[in-house]
Structure formats: structure tokens, C-alpha cells
Structure 1
């Protein structure tokens, strides 16, 4: 893995490009159609695609977290120093906001906006918990069994989660914060952020607890969970 400054730049850049894609594709979709389902589909495809690209290209540099909840999980697993995880989270948030600004600039909109789009309530919060749970579970299982497939697994999971969750699957505190700075298709009111972020972190922690148990090789057995994996 690269030295810390390059890892931080990779995390900021990746999160910026992710948010620019989420916000920009939402603006483009809203410009081209009044059909909300079609606009969401366009937003979904762009987001899933960019995740595959970003994780594939920046993963070798920083791990391609682009998400404070993911960085927290890797810190708790002792795969990332706590100090580094905190710095990752800071640059992810900064990068995400920069991505929203870039998207606005590309469409000649005010660079910084306060979103007025209401996204709140128990169903939305629960959806975010489920979305973050699934994301972390997919990542942990992916790096355990199919590390090379992780970019595609994450991209496909988020593509699906856009549609099976009531919240359209933010699953990322940095992206949620950045989306509060856009009053476009993908925005969220700043007032609604605490519920989303709390649910995302809770879902990620539950996933860590469950997957730590689920992916452990059976005690006292010579047979690994995965026939290709001989680690204890």
C-alpha cells in the first residue's frame, strides 16, 4: 500500500469522483426526463459503473474505501491504524463536497447549495442500516474469498440497493454529507443527516460482528470454509 499522503489523495479523489457521478448523473437525468423511475435508473447505472472503475484503479493505492463507515470497520479489524482511519474520513468528506461542487459547475448551477429534499423517517433509517450492512458484508466476504471480484461485487450491490431500499442506498456518511450540499435529484436535507449517518454506522458495525463470526473457519476442523482457502 502507498505512503499516507498518496493514500489520502486517492481517498479524496475517489470520493470526489463518486459524488460527482452521483450528483451529476442525477442532474443529467432530471434534465432529460420527467419520469422519476427512469431518472433513478440513470443515476443507478452511473453510480454502479463508477464504483467498479474507482475501486479497480485506486484500490491498490489506498484500499478504495471512499466511505468513513468502511474505514471504521477496517480500523476495528486492525487492518488500518486508527489515526489513518480518522484522516481517511476527513478527506473523504472534503472530497465528497468537492465532488458536489464539480457536478454543479459542469451544469452551470450555484456551486454550493443547501438541499431541501426531505429524506427522513423510520423506514428510511432502517433502509440505510440495511444498505450499509449489506455493503460491509459484501466487502468482507469479497476480500475473504474473491478479492479480485470486489470492485464488481460492490458496484453490483449498490446498483441493486438503489432499488431494493426505500432510501436509494446512500450507505456512506461522506456521500450523505456531500449530498446535503446539492438541492438536485440526489440531495438530502442537512436536518436529515444525523439519522442517516447513525443508521449507516450501526449497519456497518452489525455487519462486522456477524461476518467476523460467519467467515471464521470452523474450530477443530481441517476443512476451510472455502476449498481454496487453507488459512486458519
Structure 2
């Protein structure tokens, strides 16, 4: 399975839950695949635009919230929204006694209201978060309620998530264990590797007291044969 197939397989259940929350009870597999592909392409567009905005703004691919906001604006998710040039023409505003440049936040506020509003109430319920769920705690990973993916993993794991999914993309990373060598020249593989590299480097270094011998080719070092004249 390639990484693209794995990511599609992980995104497909989320798309199914969203369609279910929107009121769809049945769909052909090709429709589900198409909706999943569209969602993946949209996320890829947002991610690539965010990375490009970060590089153009501060010469690094580590994004900030401003880079994400600009990517959402470019994708048409934040409307109505002024452009950066239009915002620059507006006068600065005073916030808590400090003058800051004007920012059009209507699109951001509308997006937050839509995400937290009653439109997505059923999606939050399907995902495992009730009406009392705190959106900020969910985003920070501090909410105690389990989402549907965590509940699904526990349902299909009889031995527990730690043992079945450890070392995979669905679980925690595997902790590297030190391999000890008993009766060998070194106590561990890492120490043996370091000793081998040091020995190899020492063997290739020339002796400081030995005079350097100029390199000669095989032809120049061969004995000369006199040419006899007839």
C-alpha cells in the first residue's frame, strides 16, 4: 500500500461520517471515492498554499496562522474578505490602547461561526462530540471525549491500542531499544560501529614520519628495455 492509498483509506471514513451527518443514507462506491478524492485534493491545495505563503512571507516552510488564513482566503473559504492591498488602504484601529493595522476579519468570524454553529451540530455528534463539547479543547487535544476513529480502533483491538497499533501511523512511535553484545569486543552495536569507523580512519591515515612517495603510473615504474638497432 502506497502512502496515497493509506491517506485515502484514513480519509474515507471521515467523508462517510460527514455524508451521513448531512442526511445521506446510501451511495455508490464510485460516489464515495469521488467525494474522498475531492476532499483530499482540497486539503492538498490548502496545505501547499499555506506552505508557499509561509515561504514567500518569512522564507521558511513553517506556517503561521496568518499563512493558513491567507490560504483559506485564496481558496475562497473566507468570504467576504478584503485583500491585503485593500486592508492597507484602511486606517489603523485601536485595540486595548494600541494602534494596530486594520484587518478584515469578517470572513474569519463567519468561518468560525459556521464551524461551531448548528449547521455542523450533527457532524460533531457523529464524530463523537456532543453539544457540550468545547471546540477549543478539541483543537488542543484536551477534550476527554473520544472521536469515532479512537473508538473504532479500540473496538477492533482486543489486545489494546498500544500493542496492535504501536509503530504505525495510527499509534505511537516505537521506542528504540539498545541491543547489547555479550562476550564481544564492544558492549553494544552502536559502540562496535564507532570502533569500526575509528579503526578504518586510523588505517587510512599516512604515517607522519614516513616520507611521502610520489604516485607513479604502471608505465613509468616498469623497467626500461634498450632498443637495439639493426
TM-score where L is the length of structure 2? 0.24
Return the structure number with greater relative CO, CA threshold 8 A, min gap 6.
Answer: 1
TM-score where L is the length of structure 1? 0.24
Largest Rg, 1 or 2: 2
Greater helix content: 1
